[in-house]
């Protein structure tokens, strides 16, 4: 660009440009490149927001909105990197620094670094596959890479989880072999109840159903329940007690809150009907 402007001015002025004029042209071109890069980033940001709003309007499902939020984060990151890299190369070329040797050196260095950064490449590749297959979204409750928690951020490099204690885990995508997602479509609040052998099971099942009916009318939990309680029956026999398994089908990620609330309600019903809960075996 600089050479084109200089040739144009020389052809019309009939004389060589002074040094200050050539430097002024270069400085102007640098500002022009930066302005165009800023404009592209601004335009792409507005375009992504418009597309995001349009997609959200057509897909009111909260699960789809979480997926959209995750994808837009990654698209913004990739757009910023691409536009920034191109702008830097053009600025370097404009101020007289040839980018050809830099690109050649970068290519050789990339091969050398590639052998020592295979895990980094694996992180990015795995992250791309996870996003493509929609395995994880922001807000999901997952287990991945030996850690569990709520997903706060998903990138091509890592996922950020926050556990129940508030600790934040950065899990590189390359170490994730299996993803356990507890936030898709629905969850089950599973409960194993210790019941003494002296208790009548019919009375126990009746108390569970009555407690579940009362619990389902609680405004704090009613919207979280998708189906009435399912009593699956005696699951195991132990030396001092038997285990009765039951579960609620609930909204995604609500299983722990529902479990804690129902156990409190059930304890009150058990106490009222004299149903014993044996101590845990040592």
Q: Which structural domains are found in the chain, ordered by start?
A: 2-116 (1.10.287.1260), 126-181 (2.30.30.60), 187-273 (3.30.70.100)
Low-confidence spans in the chain with pLDDT less than 70: 1-25, 56, 59-67, 70, 98-118, 280-282
pLDDT of residue 281: 60
Q: Give the pLDDT of residue 164.
A: 85
Max distance between CA atoms of the chain, in angstroms, equals 111
Nearest-angstrom CA–CA distance, 165 and 129:
30
Sequence-distant (6+) residues with CB within 8 A of 149 are: 141, 142, 161, 162, 163, 164, 167, 169
Residues 159-208: tens digit of each pLDDT? 999 988 889 999 998 888 888 888 888 889 999 999 888 888 889 899 99
How far, rounded to the nearest angstrom, does the alpha carbon of residue 66 sit from its chain's CA centroid? 8
Q: What is the pLDDT of residue 9?
A: 47
The per-residue pLDDT for 52 is 74
**pLDDT computed for residue 230 by the predictor:** 92
- Token pair 């479990």 is found at 259
């Amino acid at each position: 660009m600089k050479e084109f402007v200089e040739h144009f001015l020389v052809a019309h002025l009939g004389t060589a440009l002074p040094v200050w004029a050539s430097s002024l042209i270069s400085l102007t071109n640098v500002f022009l490149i930066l302005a165009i890069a800023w404009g592209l980033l601004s335009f792409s940001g507005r375009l992504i927001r418009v597309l995001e709003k349009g997609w959200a309007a057509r897909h009111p499902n909260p699960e789809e909105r979480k997926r959209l939020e995750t994808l837009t984060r990654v698209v913004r990151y990739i757009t910023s990197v691409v536009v920034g890299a191109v702008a830097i190369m053009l600025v370097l070329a404009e101020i007289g620094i040839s980018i050809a040797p830099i690109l050649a050196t970068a290519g050789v260095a990339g091969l050398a670094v590639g052998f020592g950064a295979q895990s980094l490449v694996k992180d990015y590749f795995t992250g791309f596959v996870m996003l493509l297959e929609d395995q994880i979204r922001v807000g999901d409750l997952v287990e991945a890479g030996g850690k569990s928690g709520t997903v706060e951020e998903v990138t091509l490099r890592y996922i950020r989880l926050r556990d129940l204690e508030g600790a934040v885990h950065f899990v590189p995508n390359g170490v994730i072999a299996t993803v356990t997602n507890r936030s898709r479509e629905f969850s089950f609040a599973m409960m194993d109840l210790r019941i003494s052998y002296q208790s009548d099971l019919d009375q126990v099942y009746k108390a569970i159903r009555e407690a579940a009916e009362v619990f389902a009318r609680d405004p704090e939990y009613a919207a979280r329940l998708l189906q009435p309680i399912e009593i699956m029956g005696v699951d195991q026999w132990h030396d001092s007690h038997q285990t009765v398994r039951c579960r609620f089908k609930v909204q995604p990620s609500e299983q722990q809150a529902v479990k804690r609330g129902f156990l409190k309600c059930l304890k009150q019903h058990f106490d009222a009907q004299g149903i014993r809960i044996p101590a845990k075996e040592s």
